[in-house]
Amino acid sequence: MYSLSGRTAIAGIGATEFSKESGRSELQLAAEAVFAAVDDAGLSPAEVDGLVTFTQDANQEIAVAREVGIGDLTFFSRVEYGGGAACGTVLHAAMAVATGAASTVVCYRAFNERSGRRFGQPDPRLGGQPSSQGVEMSWHVPYGLMTPAGWVAMFARRYMHAFGATSEDFGRVAVAMRRHAATNPAAWFHGRPITLEEHQRSRWIVEPLHLLDCCQESDGAVALVVTSADRARHLRRSPAVVTAAAQGAGRGQMMMTSFYRDDMSGLPEMGVVASALWSMSGLSPKDIQTAILYDHFTPFVLSQLEELGFCGRGEAKDFVADGGIEIDGRLPVNPHGGQLGEAYIHGMNGITEAVRQIRGTAVNQVAGVRNVLVTAGTGVPTSGLVLSRE
């Protein structure tokens, strides 16, 4: 059977600074990130013939193309489901390159998520439209269950009940991310580590989630250049080969509110992604030196460790104990500090970190990196990648 594995690579990465108020339009942010990624690859924008972004992105592909001087586009697509789209953009780009639909595809995500529309704020319009999603939200919004923290908290409580996990177990994830961010100058929380006590003392957002269980909100943009692995070998950066890429949705899936499925203590959609990644790559968890796990809220980092097979069901609390996911732990997770520590760019900044780890140029470099696993938004239909060094 034809496999996508090894056919394409990420050849360039770019980003703006990460801030709370960019002071510029989202389109300008997108353009700046695309320029940075194309420059990093040693290409010119005129060589780009494909663009992929998130359905939620406010910058149309053609608008970005006009700004940066991309000419003819032979491929453009959008990936749905909020932050679940992140690794999916690379999957779409890789499929386009592997099938010849395009030769050089840029994936981008740009927003003023802190200074513009904030995802963490309740929006009564969520349940206002009789679209399938509006009707789905209408089983929750009327009861005030309408923020991402609220939806995740509902799973977190059940997870605690099922496996005896505690708020401190969630806190260990936040402490690890902030430790990593403290030594990453690009991180918003650079130089600001936290202790478990500070996590426990931070105010409630939605019980059982404290403020420090929730990732920050950020302005910024990230872009990635995907091209064939053969071509990438002749460009200026060593390629981050796409060894596996997958999307996943589970049975009975909803957007953040899959409360009605058999089990609320896992993330079945991440299980779908995991089995696709392992089967496409031929690898297993022991082949991964560092993982970039989507961390908008701490509890789902634990569930992901389980769904991806790094530990058994309900064992993630032991896995994260004693610095298990810290830079010097058994599996360093998000050495850049993740979205809790670096910035919330809808998972795309995590992919750039994975590429830096493959290249050996990360600020918090993990030794001997050969394969990095990356995941996208949790609680929603999601996606994942395995990137490898040649």
Please give the positions annotated as active site: 294, 344
Q: Which of 260, 286, 328, 367 binds other proteins (CB under 8 A)?
A: 260
> Per CB under 8 A, does 185 bind other proteins?
no
Total residues in contact with other proteins, by rule CB under 8 A: 41
DSSP element (H, E) containing 199: helix 196-201
Sign for the pseudo-dihedral over CA of 140, 144, 147, 152: negative
DSSP element (H, E) containing 373: strand 371-375
Question: Smallest gap, in angstroms, from Cβ of residue 313 to other proteins?
Answer: 17
DSSP element (H, E) containing 267: none
- Per DSSP, the three-state class of 149 is helix
> Per CB under 8 A, does 142 bind other proteins?
yes
Draw the binding track, 96-135, toward other proteins (x: CB under 8 A; -: no contact): ------------------------xxx-x--xxxxx--xx
Question: Smallest gap, in angstroms, from Cβ of residue 208 to other proteins?
Answer: 7
- Specify the residue for token string 């994260």: 320
> Per CB under 8 A, does 141 bind other proteins?
yes
Return d(Cα 351, Cα 347) in angstroms, integer. 7
- Specify the residue for token string 């990420």: 10
> Per CB under 8 A, does 20 bind other proteins?
no
Draw the binding track, 160-179, toward other proteins (x: CB under 8 A; -: no contact): -x------------------
Q: Where are the alpha helices (DSSP H) in 23-139?
A: 26-41, 61-68, 86-99, 132-137
> Per CB under 8 A, does 263 bind other proteins?
no
> Per CB under 8 A, does 55 bind other proteins?
no
Residue 231's CB is within 10 A of a number of other CB atoms, namely 17
> Per CB under 8 A, does 337 bind other proteins?
no
- Specify the residue for token string 């177990």: 169
Draw the binding track, 211-240, toward other proteins (x: CB under 8 A; -: no contact): x-----------------------------
Return d(Cα 353, Cα 293) in angstroms, integer. 11
**Contact footprint for other proteins (CB under 8 A):** 120-122, 124, 127-131, 134-147, 150, 153-155, 157-158, 161, 203-208, 211, 257, 259-260, 264
